Amino acid sequence: MALQVLLAATLRKYFPDYDHAAGLEVQIQPGTTVKELAARLNLPVADIKLIMINGRAGNWDTVLQGDERVALFPPVGGG
């Protein structure tokens, strides 16, 4: 099953041709966790602070079935 992965801010550097409007289309097996998805995309866990799945908060153990929209965000600093 395919899902859409949206990367925010500094996470986009891992995919030089990343299209922020379309994101990435990734094929997964139902039952894949968000942590497994990040590993498959070679995204360092330490670089991801917030996980949203279909607009709702998720976590590393959230199980994906396909057809979801997964948005990953880095830690944000500022002042």
Neighbours of 21 (CB within 10 A): 5
pLDDT at 79: 54
Q: What's the pTM?
A: 0.91
Distance CA 54, CA 56 (A): 6
Q: Is 12 helix (H, G, I), strand (E, B) or coil?
A: helix
Neighbours of 2 (CB within 10 A): 10
pLDDT, tens digit (0-9, with 9 covering 90-100), for 3-17: 999 999 999 999 999
The domain limits of the chain are: 2-66
**Which ranges of 1-79 does DSSP label H, i.e. alpha helix?**
34-40
pLDDT, tens digit (0-9, with 9 covering 90-100), for 20-79: 899 999 999 999 999 999 999 999 999 999 999 999 999 999 999 999 999 999 998 655
pLDDT at 76: 80
DSSP 62: P
